[in-house]
Every structure is written in structure tokens, then in C-alpha cells.
Amino acid sequence: MKFDGGTSGGAEAETKAQALLALLAALEASGYDFVTPTPSVSRRGLGKAVGPSAGLRAIFGWSRPFARSDLDPTFLSLLERAGMLLEEGELCRSAVRVSRLAKMLFLHSAFPATGRDAVFLGPDSYRFARFIAQATTDRRAGSIAEIGCGAGVGGLVAARLHLGGRLDLGDINPAALELAQSNAANAGIKARICQSDGMSRLDGPYDLIVANPPYVAGASGRTYKDGGDMHGARMALDWAGQAAERLTPGGRFVLYTGSAILDGGADVLGAALENLAAGFGYRLTYEEIDPDIFSGELRREAYTDVERIAAVGAVLERPA
């Protein structure tokens, strides 16, 4: 696996990567399984009272605190070697959460994922994976890239669907790249891991580019969350423009994101993508996947003129 830029090198990084990969292998061997729900359900699960030896799902799935004696020494040692064991008084917590998606295990940030460099995975990730399968399985892709890869869900799902294709995973966040690298290795998928702001270092051209960009309005300070202006849609539109320039003939850009539907029903992102596609002479297909997500955001001032936030999927296709 090739890594271009980003996280610190040397023996320490090597040891951390080895420990993370060994942690995933140990969880696989144990039969571990966990599906990450919405933050509100995660908060409820985290708050449930549990007794000693609550198990791997409590620690690595629900991100519950635990005593050292509650966790098998093998797992405890791997967390320590990876620098992912958080000590909170007499209790500990794992700094990583592990979820299964498309039959693969993914490391991502523990709940709640509030840090600036947090690596998010949640229900959007599962919708993203299904949309990639829906939009790409009719044509072979020999070269694949994921913009803003986070834990690597989109790129690894696409690579599993298009076996043998070259895969590049790019993200501006070094912490995301560390986890994506381990997730790819555990899945047995070769990938070039590249620190990249958008597609700045993803040169292409590519047969398939996938992205699930941040799409929330405002400035939370979290890399995975803030989508810029246009009620959070700016980054999605910018990435679509960058991807359009790096597609091979017949290539596709598959975008899963959120779009703020304004009072009266206007979808500004959808209209902007139509204009972008027309400017390149590309074909656009666009659909609402879920009409109402992240409704709690609507209480914020940034959304005073918004009636709902929809999960949308777009496919931008360059003529062959």
C-alpha cells in the first residue's frame, strides 16, 4: 500500500498501523459485528447501564467506558500500542469505534465524534454504499478514487464491486488516512493513500470517482461536518466540478450528500449540478434518497429559510 504525504512516518507510525490492523483481525476472529446508528440512538446506547464484562460491542461499538479487567488483555494491548486507549480516572475508553458495513470492518472515531479531526461513520455511510452499488455495477471501472474518504467506505465498497481496479483514497485529514489505510489492508484491498484537499493531489483520470462530502451549514470546526455556504452544499458542488475534469470518457462521478430544500421547495444544489453538467456536456441523474434527514439541524439559525434536509444521490457521467 502506497502512502503519499500526511501522517508522520517512521517506526512509531508503522507500529500504530500494525496494531490497528491486528485489532481489526482480532475483532474479525472473534465474530464481532456492529452497525452504527444515528447520534441520538448512539447517545441512548452509551447511556444504558451495563455490568462488568459488557463485551466487545459495548466497548468498540457503543463506545462505553470500561475497567481494564473488563477487556481481554490482547485487545487492551493492541489499543495501547495503537495509542487508542483513553484513560478516564479508574475507567478506560477506546478512541476508535468499529462498525461492519458491506461485510467489511471499519475503524472510525469513537462516539461522540466531536474532535476537529474526528473520522465519522454513520447511517449516511450505509446509504452511500448502497447508492454506489446502484449507480456503478453496469460498467467496469479500472481506476477509482474517493474524495474526502474518511474511513474509506466509498472507495473500498467501489473497489469490492470492481475487483482489480486501481484505488486512490484522498482526504485532507491525516487521522482519517491512518484509519482508511488500516481498513483497506484489513479488507485485502490495495490502495494509494493520499493527503489531498478535494482532488488537489488526486490526478486521475479515473473511470469512477465517489464522494460523500460534508454538507452541514455553519462552522462546527469539524472537518467531516462543515460543508461551506449554500446551506452546506458548497463543498459538494466544488468537488463535483473537480471530479468532472478528471473523468475518463464514459467515466462517472457518484455523489451522495445532503441538500437543504428551501421554503417553497427549491433545491439549490440540484439546480447547480444541472448547470454544471450542462456546462461540461455531461449527463446528470439526480434523486432524493431520503426526504428528511438531520432534522435537528433545522433548529439552527443557518436553516431559518429551509423546510427540510434531503439525502440526495447524483451521478455525473462523461460521454464515452
pLDDT of residue 267 exceeding 90, the answer is yes
Cβ-proximal residues to 201 (8 Å cutoff; 6+ apart), any chain: 4, 5, 170, 194, 195
Q: What is the mean pLDDT of the chain?
A: 92
How many domains does the structure of the chain reveal?
A: 2
Query: Do 91 and 181 lie in a common domain?
Result: no
pLDDT category at 11 given cuts 50, 70, 90 is low
Q: What is the pLDDT of residue 177?
A: 97
Query: Do 132 and 269 lie in a common domain?
Result: yes
Query: Do 146 and 279 lie in a common domain?
Result: yes
Instruction: Please identify, among 97, 112, 139, the residue that sits at the C-terminal boundary of a domain.
Output: 97
Q: Which domain holds residue 185?
A: 123-317
Determine, yes or no, domain membership for 117: no
Question: Poorest-confidence range of 10-19, 242-251, 266-275?
Answer: 10-19
pLDDT of residue 8 exceeding 70, the answer is no
What tens digit of pLDDT does each residue of 109-126 get? 999 998 889 999 999 999
Determine, yes or no, domain membership for 68: yes
Tell me the whole-structure pTM to 2 decimals.
0.93
What tens digit of pLDDT does each residue of 275-320 get? 999 999 999 999 999 999 989 899 999 999 999 999 999 999 999 9
CATH number of the domain where residue 167 is located: 3.40.50.150
pLDDT category at 225 given cuts 50, 70, 90 is confident
Across 28-41, average pLDDT? 96
